[in-house]
Structure 1
Amino acid sequence: MEQVVVVGGGPVGLWLAAELGLGGVPVTVLEARTERDPHSKALTIHPRTLEVLAFRGVVDRFLAEGLRIPNGHFGGLDDRMDFRVLDTDFPFTLALPQVRTEELLEEHARTRGARILRGHQVTGLRQDADSVALRVTGPDGPYEVEAAYVVGCDGTRSAVREAAGIAFPGTPDTTWGWLADVVLDSPPPSLLSVSGPNGGLMVVPLPGGAHRFVGGSDHTERPGELTLEEVRATVTAITGTDFGMRDPHWLSRFGNATRQAERYRRGRVLVAGDAAHMHFPAGGVGLNVGVQDATNLGWKLAATALGTAPHGLLDSYHDERHPVGADLLLSTRAQTALMNAATPEVLALRTLLSGLIATVPEFSRTLAERLSGLAVAYDRGAHPLVGTRAPDLRVGDTTLFTLLRTGKHVPLDFTDEPAKHDGWEDVRGAVVRPDGHVAWASGDTAPDPATH
């Protein structure tokens, strides 16, 4: 019997497999596609995800290939949030096509011992108190595999979620956006965000020389296939030029259906990423929240599978991450309203909010912290730092992120050398969880390493 089977070989499934491997649990990943999708739905890696990659020692590969963007948008507003003011070593978003992100994550997962099988589609499951049996159709026909735990990372149409009977309530598509990856003969000099009576759009440079256009529409019913001619006409109507667009790499539409799994765990079956939350891709946060789901789940599931977890640890995955998913849906719904309606009232709201971003630094910073994932905090304890993310603190002759590479809890003793970071000056001791959040902190007592 397998200890854990992860269904879905996208970014979330691959990262979870690596996290479980780090925790000492063998993992098999089942991916329905025989080949990786060449089109990159996700493009943006946010600061918190870069921190996660950093405290596992793999961020440099991503930084070497991605394009650093020192600001971000909320709902396509003209004024952008300045990420350079964020309390992180990665005060920017990183533009990197999802296809390359998956390649790098697969290499990492394999180094952690993951077995990745392509062309293996899960068609159903049954579970009891001791195991889960998956029905799978592979290259050689149907078969069954038994596992102690199964995690569905298989997207918004998750076969695992459906077969496990996990409800996925929400709202259907009511409006549609579009994207076009094209070559430009006369590109704009930098990132471009434009809105007006003819609609709004953003233009983002891609690694390799192409550009991505993203825009909304006023369609109330699902439109037909997107064409380059339609993109050209739309862009020209909004900006007055088509930037010399040609040679489309990918043209696609997407809707604003918004749903969230009622539970992230049912018995021995769990869900993460798009299998747990579906939303309009505003702000490029979906991949990031999914990877952070996996970071929260990985160490908890590993300890549970190995029999070392305290009672209730695995249930805390739902308790901690479901509210994060709900906040994600709130944010993307708000941004959808700003991006996909060009009524005088919405244009006035856009002008108001954009002006606040430009003139009220704390407003801009708060939005940026929420969008980037840096603001995520779990149940607070007696000390105000408990539940918050820990920065890359200096610890003797090393750093916290270096210590977190083991995937274990890290006790920190600041008795002799106080922490030199805002909010940490009076901390004498702390314990940081494997996912980089503070488990315990004290201004009076150093941690006992024997208990962690």
Structure 2
Amino acid sequence: MTSGIETSGIERHEVVIVGGGPVGLCLGVLLADRGIDVVVLESRAERSQHSRAIGIHPPGLRVLAAAGVAETLKAAGVELTEGRARSQGQEVARLEFDPPVLSVPQWLTEQTLEARLAELAPGALRRGVHAVGLGKAGGAGQGGAAVVRALDGGSEVSVAGRWVVAADGARSPLRGALGIPVRERQYPDAYLMGDFADTTPDGAAAVLHLEPEGIVESFPLPGGVRRWVVHTDALETDPTPERLARLVVERTGLAVDPRTSTMLSAFTVCERLAAAMLRGRVVLIGDAAHEVSPIGGQGMTLGWLDAEAFAPLLAEDVRAVRYGWESDGAVAWPALRARVAEGRRRAAAEAARHAALNMALGRPLPPTLMAARNAVFRGLYGAPVIRGWTSRRFTMQS
């Protein structure tokens, strides 16, 4: 884990965040807004323009409001106020989302957070800096700092912080450097996903087509675009817009124009849960700590809730060092951090269970079993209490 790099001559900040995606940027904003000297190291030289994650659930919007960007994103996004389930063209259930889920392309969310970070801490985001591991003071709690080893333009650099936060994704190099075990589960499900011009009459509704060949999901995006997600028998190794459009029309009867495709992706599902979110002075958040199925769109919001939980603790600790405070509160912080980390791990495990149930409901079924299951759903969702419970589960209320 260590490299023998000495701490002399190392660039220093109060908090070093590795990963400039939506979660790392959000934490950077929350810390900078508290007056913390923060740097965000991002390996990508440019922001991806793919829509990728699109769902912002109500608690995520709360965190983004604290970051000062919620209103900007609400003005740019589409509020999903309703969910509909259909099968063979017939309605199975209808749910109201109150408060709604906001649909915004990930690139726009990142752009908005990046602009906010630049307002609060100009130059805090450093692109093209690829973290490769931890230095001598990192991870084991030695000294009072952690050190990130990184490549910047082909040269190795070392960046130290009172805290290092790994927001560097599901295959987190920093998590690997720390040797934190990961519980991993590979699901049998595969999906083909794409964004196309919206030619449906569904407006701001999210729609689930529960079909015998497998689920077809669709969600509105800004600019008259709709995302389609189709369950497939196996991973599509050569996905095309034409293939996705054909699957949609075969299962739902709805036409999709492949010429309007702006994003296409084929993927399988892997669930990962790190055994710990804290090791020495390194904190794991977002996918580095817990990767859940993208079906249900809860992963990004989970990461923002991590940022919300840890930002005040990191800031308070940094201030204690900065101003030389000695108090009972300082003694209690390690236990408090551990308690927050365990709470976040429990929340991730719950989200993973919900995602697993969502995937199970979308798998192929023989037509007779599908019809019987849908009949049960129609009966259940006639009860307001069931509709309300399901709506809350799909929209992550806390």
* Counterpart residue identity of residue 35, structure 1: E
Is residue 218–residue 340 contact of structure 1 (8 Å, CA) maintained in 2? Answer: no
Find the aligned partners of 1:353 and 1:122 in 2 and give their Cα distance: 51
How far 1:255 moved relative to its partner?
A: 1.3
**1:312-331 to 2 correspondence within 5 Å?**
312-331=335-354
Find the aligned partners of 2:102 and 2:306 in 1 and give their Cα distance: 19
The CA RMSD measured in Å over matched residues stands at: 2.4
Name the structure 2 match of 1:125: 134
Name the structure 2 match of 1:161: 175
Find the aligned partners of 2:375 and 2:114 in 1 and give their Cα distance: 44
* Counterpart residue identity of residue 121, structure 1: H
Structure 2 counterpart SS, 1:169: strand
Is residue 177–residue 215 contact of structure 1 (8 Å, CA) maintained in 2? Answer: yes
Find the aligned partners of 1:343 and 1:201 in 2 and give their Cα distance: 16
2:159 corresponds to which of 132, 145, 169: 145
Is residue 85–residue 209 contact of structure 2 (8 Å, CA) maintained in 1? Answer: no
**1:205-354 to 2 correspondence within 5 Å?**
205-219=220-234, 222-307=235-320, 309=330, 310-311=332-333, 312-343=335-366, 347=370, 350-351=373-374, 354=377
2:381 corresponds to which of 336, 345, 358: 358
Name the structure 1 match of 2:215: 200
For each residue in 1:243-296, what CA deviation from the matched residue of structure 2 results, as whole angstroms up to 9, or x when unmatched?
A: 444231111012121111111111111111111111221221111111111111
Find the aligned partners of 2:290 and 2:375 in 1 and give their Cα distance: 30
Structure with bigger helix share is: 2
Distance 1:254 1:328, change over 3 A: same
Name the structure 2 match of 1:113: 121
* Counterpart residue identity of residue 196, structure 2: V
Q: For structure 2, which runs of at least 5 residues remain unmatched after alignment?
A: 1-11, 321-328
* Counterpart residue identity of residue 148, structure 1: R
* Counterpart residue identity of residue 274, structure 1: D
Q: For structure 1, which runs of at least 5 residues remain unmatched after alignment?
A: 85-90, 377-452
Mean Cα displacement is larger for which, 249-258 or 17-26? 17-26
Mean Cα displacement is larger for which, 60-69 or 233-242? 233-242
Aligned residues: 366
* Counterpart residue identity of residue 289, structure 2: A
TM-score by length of 1: 0.75
* Counterpart residue identity of residue 362, structure 1: V
How far 1:367 moved relative to its partner?
A: 2.7
Is residue 188–residue 243 contact of structure 1 (8 Å, CA) maintained in 2? Answer: no
1:20 corresponds to which of 18, 21, 31: 31
1:7 corresponds to which of 15, 18, 29: 18
Find the aligned partners of 1:167 and 1:75 in 2 and give their Cα distance: 41
Distance 1:262 1:346, change over 3 A: farther
Mean Cα displacement is larger for which, 114-123 or 312-321? 312-321
Find the aligned partners of 1:146 and 1:355 in 2 and give their Cα distance: 57
Distance 1:80 1:289, change over 3 A: farther
Is residue 132–residue 148 contact of structure 1 (8 Å, CA) maintained in 2? Answer: yes
* Counterpart residue identity of residue 118, structure 2: R
For each residue in 1:338-372, what CA deviation from the matched residue of structure 2 results, as whole angstroms up to 9, or x when unmatched?
A: 11333458736852663266312222222332333
How far 1:157 moved relative to its partner?
A: 1.1
For each residue in 1:386-422, what CA deviation from the matched residue of structure 2 results, as whole angstroms up to 9, or x when unmatched?
A: xxxxxxxxxxxxxxxxxxxxxxxxxxxxxxxxxxxxx
* Counterpart residue identity of residue 305, structure 1: V
TM-score by length of 2: 0.85
Find the aligned partners of 1:113 and 1:119 in 2 and give their Cα distance: 18
How many percent identity over aligned positions?
Answer: 31
* Counterpart residue identity of residue 46, structure 1: H
Name the structure 2 match of 1:38: 49
